[in-house]
Amino acid sequence: MGQAQLEATNAGIPHTAIQCEHRGSVARRMQCVHCKGITEDVEVDPFICSHCGLNLFVRDHYSRRIAAYQGVCIDAEDPGNVPPSKGIYE
Amino acid sequence: MTIQFNDETFRDDYSFHNSAWAIRRFPFPFHEDSYMYSVNMEQHRGGPAGSIFEKRFDVDEHYLSEMRDRAMVLADDPLRCQSLPHMTLAGWDLLELIMVSKSEDYPELFELHRNGNTWRWVNKPMGIDDTFTFLDEATLPYGPLEYITRQAQGDFCVLDQRDDNLWMDAGIVTTQADWSLDFDIGMNFFEWHAPVPLAHEKGVFVRALKFLLNIQQGSPARRLNWTMTVNPLLDTSPENYHKWGIQKTTLTPENIGQKQHLRVELQTFFRLPRSNALVFPIRAYLCSFQDLMTMPKWGRRLHRVIRDLPEELATYKGFIDNRTMMLDYLSKFDDGLPTSDGIWPEFETEPSLNLSEDS
Amino acid sequence: MSGAQKIAVTVTEIVPLNELVTRFKFKPTDGSLLPTFSGGAHTVVEMKDGAITRLNPYSLMSDPMDQTAYTISVRRDDVGRGGSLFLHRNVKVGDQMTISYPVNLFSLDLRAKKHLFLAGGIGITPFIAQIKQLERTNGRWELHYATRSVALGSYVDELTTKHPNEAHIYYDDQEQRIDLKNLLDGQPLGTHVYVCGPKGMIDWVRKTAADEGWPRESIHYEEFLAPKSGKPFEVKLAISNKVIQVGEDESLLEAMEREGVDAPYLCRGGACGQCETDVIDYRGNFIHRDHWLEDADHKSGKKIMPCVSRFEGKTLVLDR
């Protein structure tokens, strides 16, 4: 939905004029803030960035422009200490 | 006024240091012995002589080293400076604002000569002498926003004003307290503040936005914000967090005075004339705990503020894990004596530390 | 901090354009440069009319890049409270006046792929500045300007000569009307609509656009509400510790100012929110005339916008 919305807003439609109705998977499109790579269909938190391999935690912070949520390194302050993954909405 | 510019680093060997002058004028942000969010705005119209509030854009001893560090950050990650296409006019507005302000406030350091749209800008400390055509991007080595902010301390967010909201549509962000311009660009005021705890419930952002929307040409405003940083690292970006986050764990009771820094942001707000945008400069000042403790009032107060700060705030500001160690250190400088209202150190009138008292 | 920064100016030109409209030119008295501004901005002109000080907003018509002078056009309003009459009758070339820094509550959306301007009568003024701004940057625009008659069509010649393709004129007395529905229908995606004119015209454009499915964010409007007169009423100011009488022909804001209370204001037209005042106590009815407060606020009796709204009843106590 986010990517479709982005096409519409780039063409000139204000995002508030676009009605979205969510169906199906609640998996998130995630952007790794460190390498900027996108990891699709993320359902667990934390997860591994599919580009740079860092362990990332799932933030609720969302960018319409990138059509993705933000992922940030979870074990920067204690490398290797990564909690077991749970579903994002658990 | 002559400034002796430091040659120092904000990374690797961290040779950053504050002179006695810099410590005395440091913007200690707490006017009382506790802290909670408030809109805390005031007019940005001068301040006590020599203070960081006096000039429109404060230049201090760290100027050249900060600009060098900025250039390194940008070389590594060009996405730290971005401008959506409709914001170029605002970029020119900002260039004009900074050039006019600095050449008027520091005539011995900066000069601006204007002949119609042919402008000549001289930045003596940085050895720059450029002639260009105002409003013609082709005559500058970078876009106007990037050009001028490579020569001005602090981050700059340029906000488009539309639909009774502010939109982060351009900026340069290399000295931030842990947020990403590349991620946030295009967001509105509430969206980019979404991660901040507690403030939303208190309606702080609704009131703050109303105030900001009504800032007019010729009437800038300012406020202070603060956080903590281990080591005088300016680039505490989320982008590099996987590299610098670990530094928080290197604090020990022996090195905390020297390594733990209070990081204060002077945030100013100027209406830009031709674009009607709002520019939001965020200027970070750093001071180590041990330097802060040389001012008895600040020593007493900082202990009390950190001790009584709600846990969510200490967590959001990133120092919850080190709080106990910080308090162990700071409590030595708190003898329980009362402190005067206001942020100024008042070292002439505040009693020096009475260490023989039980605290 | 009330209103925007002030500028001392001298009136250098007064040009009557027709029966109703006169153009005024201001230059800074001390010879300095005026601030630049963005098209759509207005300035608040201070007029000392005997014991009364009037503050009226007027759109800036001059080129936003021209820092030597500001130009405004004023439509004479014979039944108004006197601000425009004062300018038409009492001001001469050479007079010194005080105006405010430019304030823009009607700016262009610079992301727009095209700007569609709809002007009614004296509402043409902000568009003249915006057109000059867009011409410099090759922006796409179109103007549809409804005016009473050829005689009263201010700036029609100038606009149609310079911009024969973009400027379209409609004369009321010739039964010419803007074909709004079709006009909106034909616009490319990304067009923004701007309307400035009488209240009726603004309401009509907003409603038609909404009915046609245009997003709210793409429609921009500016209307300077002149504070309407009303029955006099008494107000108690809790902080200033005064009891004041608001006269028939002055607004609550003007009454407070007359009594020496430094109440905040900006647009003085009920649109910007700056003068919002808390109500401590009241017994009576509010006459809300602003565009700023939500309906819930209007009904709550807890807030009032003194620049345009009034009150009738026994008691009104304000937090000023």
Closest CA to A56 of A12, A88, A20, A16: A88
CA atoms within 13 A on the CB side of C159: 25
Closest-CA residue to B231 (of B250, B214, B213, B203): B250
**What's the topology of domain C6-100?**
Elongation Factor Tu (Ef-tu); domain 3 (2.40.30)
pLDDT at B39: 64
> How large is the angle between the packed helices B296-308 and B323-330, nearest 10 degrees?
150
| Chain B residues within an 8 Å CB radius of A36 | 79, 182
- Between CA A1 and CA A19 the distance in angstroms is 10
C161 by DSSP, 3-state: which?
A: helix
Residues of chain C with pLDDT under 70: 1-3, 224-226
Per-domain residue ranges of chain C: 6-100, 114-222, 233-318
Give C220 to chain A, closest Cα distance, Å: 14
| B358 pLDDT higher than 60 | no
Nearest to C115, CA basis, from C126, C105, C102, C104: C126
Residue B121's Cβ-side half-sphere holds a number of Cα atoms within 13 Å equal to 22
Cα separation, C242 vs C223, whole angstroms = 33
Contacts of B185 in chain C (CB under 8 A): none
C114-222 belongs to which CATH class?
A: alpha beta
Contact assignment for A34 to B241 by CB distance below 8 Å: yes
Chain A and chain C share a number of CB contacts under 8 A equal to 19
Indicate yes or no: CB of A16 within 8 angstroms of CB of C189.
no
Please give the Cα distance from B216 to A1 (Å, whole number): 39
Give the integer Cα–Cα distance in Å for B50 and A65.
Answer: 43
Interface test with A, best of C218, C219, C220 (most A CBs within 10 A): C218
- The pLDDT-based confidence of A52 (bands split at 50, 70, 90) is very high
Instruction: Render the burial of B115-125: b for 16+ CB within 10 Å, e for the rest.
Output: eeeebebbbee
Kindly state the average pLDDT of the residues B266-285.
Answer: 97
> Cα C118 vs. chain centroid, distance in angstroms?
15
Kindly identify which residue of chain A lies nearest to residue B181, measuring between CA atoms.
Answer: A33
Among the partner residues B79, B187, B241, nearest to A72 by beta-carbon distance:
B241
Active site residue B11: no
Q: Collapsing DSSP states into helix, strand and coil, what is residue B104?
A: helix
Cβ–Cβ gap B239/A79 under 8 Å: no
Asked if A12 reaches chain C (Cβ–Cβ under 8 Å), the answer is yes
Chain C interface, mutation test: which of A9, A13, A18, most C Cβ atoms within 10 Å?
A13
Give the model's pLDDT for residue B146: 98
Candidates B80, B150, B223, B283; catalytic one: B223
CB of C190 within 8 Å of a chain A CB? The answer is yes
Answer yes or no: do B276 and C272 touch at CB < 8 A.
no
Q: Per-residue pLDDT averaged across B197-205, rounded?
A: 70
C-alpha to C-alpha distances, C230 to C79, C174, C250, C288, C289, nearest whole angstrom? 14, 36, 9, 12, 12
pLDDT at B202 over 70: no
Tell me which residue in B183, B240, B242 faces A31 most closely, judged by beta carbons. Answer: B183
Q: Is the pLDDT of residue B355 over 70?
A: no
Q: Chain C: give the shortest CA distance to residue A11, in Å.
A: 7
Query: B203-261, pLDDT tens digit by residue?
Result: 778 878 888 998 999 999 999 999 999 999 999 899 999 889 888 889 999 999 999 99
**Is the CB of A33 less than 8 angstroms away from the CB of B241?**
yes
List, for residues A55-87, the tens digit of each pLDDT value: 999 998 999 899 999 999 999 988 889 999 998
Q: What are φ and ψ of residue A19, in 5° steps?
A: -90, 130
CATH number of the domain at C233-318, out of 3.40.50.300, 3.30.70.260, 3.10.20.30, 3.10.129.10?
3.10.20.30
For residue B1, give every residue at least 6 positions away whose Cβ sits within 8 Å of its Cβ, in sequence order, or none: B106, B108
Residue-wise burial string across C79-109, b where 16 or more C-beta atoms lie within 10 A, e elsewhere:
ebbbbbbbbbeebeeeeebbbbbbbbbbbbb
**Which residue type sits at B118?**
T
- Report d(CA B236, CA B195) in Å as an integer: 17
Please report the pLDDT score of residue B92 as a whole number.
98
Which pLDDT does position A75 carry in this prediction?
92
CB contact under 8 A, C215 and A11: no
- Residues A20-41: tens digit of each pLDDT: 777 777 889 999 999 999 999 9
Closest Cα of chain B to A35: distance in Å? 8
Per-residue model confidence as pLDDT tens digits over B17-47 = 999 999 999 999 999 998 887 667 888 999 9
Q: Do C4 and B216 touch (CB under 8 A)?
A: yes
pLDDT of B55 > 60? The answer is yes
pLDDT on residue B279:
98
